[in-house]
Amino acid sequence: MAETKVIMPQMGESIFEGTLTKWLKKPGDKVERDEALFEISTDKVDSEIPSPAAGILQEVLVKEGQTVQINTVVAIIGDGSAKTSSKPAPEEKTEAAPSAAQPASVPPAVAAAAEPPTPEAESGRVPNSPLVRRIAKEHGIDLDALAGKGTGINGRVTKADILAFVESGGEKGGTKKTATPAPAPIAFTGEVERVAMTPMRKSIAEHMMASRRTSAHVTTFFEVDCSRIMKGREKLKAEFERAGVHLTITPFFVQAVVRALRKFPIVNASLDGDTIVYKRDINIGIAVSLDGGLIVPVVRNAAEKNLQGLAHAINDLGERARTKKLLPEEVKDGTFTITNPGVYGALTGTPIINQPQLAIMGMGGIKKRAVVIDDAIAIRPIIVLSLSFDHRLIDGALADQFMAEVQQQLESWQG
Amino acid sequence: MALTTYVEAIRQGISEEMERDDNVFVLGEDVGIYGGAFKATAGLLEKFGETRVIDTPISESAIVGAAIGAALMGLRPIAEMQFADFISCAFDQIVNFAAKCRYRWGAGIPIVVRAPSGGGIHGGPFHSQNPEMHFVHTPGLKVVCPSTAYDAKGLLKAAIRDPDPVIFFEHKFLYRWPRAKEELPSDDYIVPIGKAALRRTGSEISIVTYGAMVYVALDAATELAKEGIDVEVLDLRSLLPFDKEAVLESVKKTNKVILLHEDTRTGGFAGELAALISEEAFDYLDGPIRRITAPDTPVPFSPPMEEFFLPKISDVLRVTRELHAY
Amino acid sequence: MTKTVDPHILAMAQRPALPPRETQLKILYYMKVVRELENRIERKLYRQGKILGGVYVGRGQEAIAVGSCIDLRADDVVCPSHRDMGAFLIRGMSLRTIFAQYMGRKTGATKGKDSNMHMGSLEHNLIAFISMLGDNVPVAAGIGLSFKMRGQDRVVVCSFGDGATSRGDWHEGLNMASVLKCPVVFICNNNQYAYSTPLERQMAVENVADRAPAYGMPGEIVDGNDVIAVWNASQRAIDYARSGNGPSLIECKTFRMTGHSAHDDASYVPQELFEYWETRDPIRRLERTLVQQNMLSDAVIAEMEKGINAEIDEAIAIAEKDPYPEPEDCLRDVYFEEQ
């Protein structure tokens, strides 16, 4: 015969514990089935408890006077082969009864018509409905680009908007969507060849026009003496090479821009409707020329990188841009862009702002020039930097102060 | 063929079932000699005799209890509550006895409890209620709410033939309302319990509703069509079980849904549907789920207040336009 | 206001006042099975933790269910209450099914869906009552109504306690049965306590049967601990109903010899009452009478008890090993399911 566990029974639905008041048998005693074995006391009743099995009372686990929870094993009945022992049961903690719930005060009858919900624009973003998100996901559409430009309330992108966007084959760079009728083809004289625009070209075209329509473009120009940074480059080139980083002159400009943006945070901001959005992170986009177009990979958190870190990031992004290995998040979230009109020899340029940023800096070619220093003529490598800025938010004075800071950083570079 | 009223359709349904099956009988207050407070059982006493058309004392609980007892012995009783408001007097027998017999001891209770529900007839708090949710909340029961004469007859027949207890809410406003009249087929037919009916197909907004509100929804849809808003109207017809597939299909098609019922707001069926839609069609929603219901008050009597209370076409127009613009 | 005594009643009154010996021994047997069965349930299995939930026994009231149901036809219907264990056994429910029911097993009368004596079986014409006591009264009226409608001479015996007669459904049901002249025998097990509420706090009339004329039906009071008296009154009421005269109400005066349930020690009951009613124990009374009339001996009694214990031991042994229902069985049979 196997061992039988004797338990504290539940004498009533709301009873959760019982006190064992008296053992009527001791370990080693023979017990008949249904013979009275012990006595208990509960909130409702005192009772004699019969043995559930016949055998020898092998082990008593709960002492007289002890209160335990229902279903606790109080004793073991065996067939006499095992040694008898008496072990005190571990202290049973009883659970506190849940306190009665406080009745809630009843509000007055709710009118049937509640205020109609409108899509809330928090921090400049109208949330996208589940349907729109799903359709966007299915088609790989970046909803950020369409944000606020839908035909729903507060510019919400509606089902109709997203479906129309899908239809038009759009990728990045959303536009205010209404199906405009295609303009009548222009009649050119002479032999012409008509070639359709590639999607990237179309996207760039739309983005450029949109930017022009959005920002109040003004450009300011600064001449900067690059001798210090070029000397610095010479000094560090070998050391960086040993670390596997090819050092060009670009990181020096990025570093100077980052320091200036720290001093003039509005240049790092955006304008959303009537709200100025200051961004904590400084993410510098570096425009890379590609076959038939351009792409702007972004050095994220540029302020946290030292010169070597910047150089490494710029090289890596540039390389992968040219080999088309950039990830989608690497061309997003830029706060300021640097472009290089001087790469093919231009003196300077008047770049178009990369929306939704507020400014873009163009780097002309570095040329040795005769300049006047302390009333003497010297030969210095000079670059013309251009800053196109959005005059809606940035006035000329501030733009010039910003550029003066960039110039200062570059011309007094020490590390 | 003539148009049949909603109440006449019910009367026909009872009569035809009593002809078809000797076990079917009627009991309730004033159902015999008087033919029922709304004449839903007129002529049945003469046709079938007092053994099968029983005038009872005013004892809703005993009416349902006796129906349960008779059903246990194989009969098919149709118990009438004179107004749905009085069904609360039989609440215990319905939810504790009838609803739980099969679950507990395998004994099915094939009773039908008919209850004239709804307002718009200046009935005040005790003659206008829509108490369906007390029973939708009780597993073991079935609950139906037809909105047309055809459905009233077909669903009543289905209810009488159903092996489980069915609470049959007939909207009293529709009893003799001309717009609820329909031409009925002469042959036997049933409308299955648990299937909705698409009353109007549309592509932009779904209105899911039942009972007398179906007509409010349809009238609103006609009006909105003139503004270029294309509305779909789904008539649930049954609340327990209800046609989940039809509801989800409609929402997935239009992506915007309004839930409309005459019952009060809190704990009304719209809340149940809204939760279901959110759980199972979330990615298809292009706007918030909207509810149009009566406010959380008893049904008032005085006409300006009752008009305020009952959902009406102006409510549907307003909410639909808002949702459409979202 | 007195009702004119139907000639049928007079004829019934001329029936022998005693059932045949066969029947009396059967009555004794059933009362003793009920007593032992309920002892095992309440004093053993429940205290051993083998039965969970609530346990309500009818100790001391065995004569009422047994006396009223022993001579029913198989096609008569019984609507018992919670202290009518005898009704279940007489109608054919097995001991094993009953123990399995109490222990929540799949083989119990409700397959674990409900507890203790919430048992029913259409096959045995036994209607499962619900915890809302008194609800079975209108249901019994409806059952009787169905017999009338079909021209059947079946009757329904409907049992309830003193407490249940305070419920609205009780009054509605008695009234309905009387107005519609349904063949129902209403049996009140007046054990004088409803939980801790004594009779004088339950009703303003002295006897439950005092209400019978209010509902236009004959009422009778009997000694609920005299099983022969119960049998006698029941037979007359059953014949009355079967002959188409409608319902009647029999109040059986008895006493609840336990607490309301297994966890109630009934300390609110004056001890003298227990002592008084102990001397009027229905089982010992019948034994004494039968022995005096040489229809029974101590040896036969001992033999009977031995057999009863063996039956019960066996039933418990089997039921204890019966399986519990599957957890997902919770979802079954809410509605009609195609087999």
pLDDT at A127 over 90: no
Whether residue A34 and residue C44 make contact (CB cut-off 8 A), yes or no, is yes
Is pLDDT of A99 > 70?
no
Q: Is B324 a catalytic residue?
A: no
More confident: A15 or C72: C72
Token couple for A365: 């070619």
Does any domain span residue C276? yes
A46, A281, A333, A391: the catalytic one is A391
**Which of B65, B92, B107 is closest, CB to CB, to C173?**
B65
Rounded average pLDDT over B260-275: 98
Which uninterrupted H or E stretch holds A259?
helix A250-263
Average pLDDT, chain B: 96
**A74-88, B83-97, C77-91, C213-227: the lowest-pLDDT one:** A74-88
**Is the pLDDT score of B105 beyond 90?**
yes
Check residue A201 and give its pLDDT.
80
What is the reported pLDDT for A106? 43
User: Contact at 8 Å (CB) between A116 and B296?
Assistant: no
Tokens of A71: 């279903």
Q: Which of A72-81, A171-180, B177-186, B205-214 has the lowest mean pLDDT?
A: A171-180
Q: Which two tokens stand for residue C261?
A: 């349930």
From chain B, the residues in CB contact with C113 under 8 A are 103-105
Asked if A129 and B285 come within 8 Å (Cβ–Cβ), the reply is: yes
User: Residue A100's pLDDT band (boundaries 50, 70, 90)?
Assistant: very low
Does residue A310 have a pLDDT over 50? yes
Cα B321 to Cα C202: distance, rounded to the nearest angstrom: 62
| Reported confidence tier of residue A13, pLDDT bands at 50, 70, 90 | low
In one letter, which amino acid is B86? F
Sequence-ordered list of residues with C-beta below 8 angstroms from that of A141, at least 6 positions apart, any chain:
A135, A162, A165, A166, A170, A171
Residue B128: which of B86, B178, B175 has the closest Cα?
Answer: B86
Asked whether residue C102 is assigned to any structural domain, the reply reads no
Q: What is the band of A343 on the pLDDT scale with cuts at 50, 70, 90?
A: confident
Would you call A131 and B255 a contact, using CB atoms and an 8 Å cutoff? yes
- For chain A, the average pLDDT equals 85
- In the predicted model, what is the mean pLDDT of residues C298-319? 97
| Residue B263 CA: distances (Å) to CA of B82, B94, B210, B220, B302 | 19, 20, 10, 19, 18
Q: Which residues of A205-216 are buried (b: 16+ CB within 10 A; e: fewer)?
A: eebeebbeeebe
- Residue B207 exposure: Cα atoms within 13 Å on the Cβ side: 33
- Asked whether the beta carbons of A406 and A261 are under 8 A apart, the reply is no
Would you say residue C40 lies in a domain? no
Distance of CA A227 to the CA centre of its chain: 41
Q: Given CB atoms, is C317 within the 8 Å cutoff of chain A?
A: no
**pLDDT surpasses 70 at A264:** yes
Domain membership of residue C188 (yes or no) is: yes
Shortest CA distance from B66: residue in chain C: C142
Residue B208's DSSP bridge partners are B234, B259
Decide if C81 contacts C129 (C-beta within 8 A): yes
B230-269 residues touching A, CB cutoff 8 A? 255, 265-266
Give the domain CATH number at C296.
3.40.50.970
State the distance between the two ends of chain C, measured CA to CA, in whole angstroms: 55
Cα pseudo-dihedral A322, A324, A328, A334, rounded to 10: 10
Q: Does A11 touch chain C (CB under 8 A)?
A: yes
Q: Residue A331: which pLDDT band, with cuts at 50, 70 and 90?
A: confident
Residue C212 in domain: yes
Q: Which of A225, A272, A395, A400 is catalytic?
A: A395
Whether residue C298 lies inside any domain: the answer is yes
Range with the lowest mean pLDDT among B81-85, B255-259, C12-16, C217-221? C12-16
3-state SS class at A144: helix
- Per residue in C125-175, pLDDT (tens digit) is 999 999 999 999 999 999 999 999 999 999 999 999 999 999 999 999 999
The amino acid sitting at C22 is: E
pLDDT of res. C14: 60
Whether A130 has its CB under 8 Å from any CB of chain B: the answer is yes
- Extract the tokens encoding A62: 């709960």
Q: How far apart are CA B141 and CA B112, in angstroms?
A: 10
A116 — contact with chain B (CB < 8 Å)? yes
Kindly determine whether residue B315 and residue A113, on different chains, have CB atoms separated by under 8 Å: yes
pLDDT band per the 50, 70, 90 thresholds, residue A195: confident
- Exposure string for A249-288, b = 16+ CB within 10 A, e = fewer: bbbbbbbbbbbbbeebebbbbbbeeeeeeeeeebbbbbbb
Task: Tell me which chain B residue has its CA closest to the CA of residue C145.
Answer: B70
Q: Helical H runs in chain B?
A: 6-20, 44-48, 60-72, 91-92, 101-105, 132-136, 149-161, 213-225, 244-254, 269-280, 303-309, 313-325
**pLDDT exceeds cutoff 50 at A90:** no
Q: Which of B287, B296, B319 sits opposite A109 (nearest CB)?
A: B296
Instruction: Verify whether the Cβ–Cβ distance C53 to A12 is below 8 Å.
Output: no
User: Has residue C199 been placed in a domain?
Assistant: no
Per residue in B187-211, pLDDT tens?
999 999 999 999 999 999 999 999 9
Spatial separation of the C-alpha atoms in residues B289 and C185, rounded to whole Å: 57
Closest chain B residue by Cα to residue C168: B61
Percent of chain A with pLDDT over 70: 85
- Give me the amino acid identity at A408: Q
Query: How far off is chain A from B271, nearest CA to CA, in Å?
Result: 13
pLDDT tens digit sequence for A279-302: 999 999 999 988 777 889 999 999
pLDDT above 90 as % of chain B: 97
Stretch A26-33: mean pLDDT, rounded? 93
Question: CA of B140: which chain C residue's CA is closest?
Answer: C334
| Bridge-based pairing state of the strands A284-286 and B142-144 | unpaired
What is the reported pLDDT for A115? 61
| ipTM of this complex | 0.89
Nearest to B65 among C109, C169, C179 (CB): C169
For residues A201 and A10, give the distance between their C-alpha atoms in angstroms, rounded to a whole number. Answer: 80
Distance (Å, rounded) from C-alpha A135 to C-alpha A131? 6
Closest CB to A112 among B255, B293, B325: B293
Residue C102: how many CB atoms within 10 A of its CB?
A: 26
- Which of C77, C122, C172 minimises the CB distance to B62? C172
Cβ separation B319–A116 shorter than 8 A: yes
Percent over 90 (pLDDT), chain C: 88
The answer to whether C264 contacts chain A (CB < 8 Å) is: yes
CB B115 within 8 A of CB B85: no
Alpha-carbon distance of C283 to C277, in angstroms, equals 12
Question: Do B326 and A111 lie within an 8 Å CB cutoff?
Answer: no
Annotation says A333 is catalytic: no
* Phi, psi dihedral angles at A256 (to 5 degrees): -65, -45
**C142/B70 Cβ within 8 A:** yes
Judge whether residue C267 has pLDDT over 50: yes
The stretch A142-162 carries a mean pLDDT of: 88
pLDDT value of position A166: 87
Domains of chain B: 6-180 (3.40.50.970), 197-325 (3.40.50.920)
Q: What is the pLDDT of residue A153?
A: 86
In a domain, C104, yes or no: no
CA A181, CA A137: separation in Å to the nearest integer? 28
| Number of domains composing chain C | 1
Please give the pLDDT value at position A196: 80
Indicate the average pLDDT of chain C. Answer: 93
Domain that holds residue C217: 53-87+113-193+204-257+272-306
Exposure string of B144-169, with b = 16+ CB inside 10 Å and e = fewer, is bbbbbbbbbbbbbbbbbbbebbbbbb
User: Does A112 contact B326 at a Cβ distance shorter than 8 Å?
Assistant: no
**Is the CB of residue A127 less than 8 Å from the CB of residue B308?**
no
